[in-house]
Amino acid sequence: MTQKTWTAVDDYIEAKLVPADSVLEGALAASEEAGLPSIAVSSTQGRLLMILAQATRAKRILEIGTLGAYSTTWLARALPRDGKLITLEADPKHAEVARKNLKHAGFGELAEVRLGKALETLPKLASEGHRPFDMIFIDANKNDYPGYLEWAIKLSRPGTLIVADNVIRDGRVADAGDSDPNVQGVRRMYEIAAAEPGLKATAIQTVGSRGYDGLFIAVVDGDN
């Protein structure tokens, strides 16, 4: 099996199950036009995020890593009108494109882009004393994944769903000797998850138009 096959199958799934959507496609086009990197989730992954948010009846979602708000828009689609989504982005240009895309998608009020390094924004968010989040999607710099998981647990309640992208890294995650900081960051996140009694977690390897990678999925099921 090759990348060509994985992409062809993703195209097939998209044609069958992911309806064409001018708003989402427009968000990708605007991101590309602004020179943002092409590293958003695929449409099939975006739809999975929406399905997970809808299935868990999420009303409050936290996203770490916004880019041009493509995944943000998928997640926002699952929220009720009185829902709230906060998404964290370190790059001012990405945040600006994201805000425009969210406004265009009709989520200018419901979704809030917070600019700054997420490890600095997360404590501020905690100090604001919001209700816990129902779903948290981690998709920013991988070397900080351990801190992101720790904050996700702190900002959650029993039942909160935590999803993190890019946790397989072409299979390199299984190599303890791999010195890449991103691999090490993801490995440390697995260790934190394994040592956290209040978390039921798994990870699923995936192939598709984005190559070979995978998703970490966990539910908070105890006191934290």
Ligand X SMILES: C[S@@+](CC[C@H](N)C(=O)[O-])C[C@H]1O[C@@H](n2cnc3c(N)ncnc32)[C@H](O)[C@@H]1O
When asked if residue 67 is in the footprint of ligand X (CB under 6 A), the reply is yes
Contacts of 154 (CB under 8 A, 6+ apart): 126, 224
**Residue with Cβ nearer ligand X (124 or 200):** 124
Binding mask 96-125 for ligand X (x = CB under 6 A): ---------------------xx-------
User: What's the CA gap between 189 and 186, in Å, rounded?
Assistant: 5
Q: Which of 75, 133, 136, 144 binds ligand X (CB under 6 A)?
A: 144
Q: Which is nearer to ligand X, 143 or 224 (CB)?
A: 143
41 binds ligand X, rule: CB under 6 A:
yes
Task: Judge contact between 114 and 92, C-beta under 8 A.
Answer: no
Confirm or reject binding of residue 28 to ligand X (CB under 6 A): no
Instruction: Kindly state the greatest CA–CA separation across the chain.
Output: 49
- The residue assigned the tokens 């989730």 is 41
Minimum CB distance to ligand X smaller for 31 or for 156: 31
Q: Which stretch binds ligand X (CB under 6 A): 102-110, 136-144, 172-180, 203-211?
A: 136-144
CA distances from 138 to 6, 20, 22, 152, 217 (A): 24, 26, 25, 9, 10
Q: With binding defined as CB under 6 A, does residue 88 bind ligand X?
A: yes
Residues in 159-218 that interact with ligand X by CB under 6 A: none
- Cβ atoms of 136 and 155 within 8 Å: the answer is yes
Nearer to ligand X, 13 or 198 (CB): 13
Which token pair is 175?
Answer: 């190599």
| Other C-beta atoms lying within 10 Å of the C-beta of residue 125 | 18
| Minimal distance, residue 105 CB to ligand X, in Å | 12
Of the candidates 109, 25, 131, 10, the one whose C-alpha atom is nearest the C-alpha of residue 68 is 25
Q: Which one of 7-15, 51-59, 62-70, 211-219 is the stretch in contact with ligand X (CB under 6 A)? A: 62-70
Which residues form the interface with ligand X (CB under 6 A)?
Answer: 39-41, 65-67, 70-71, 88-91, 94, 117-118, 139-141, 144
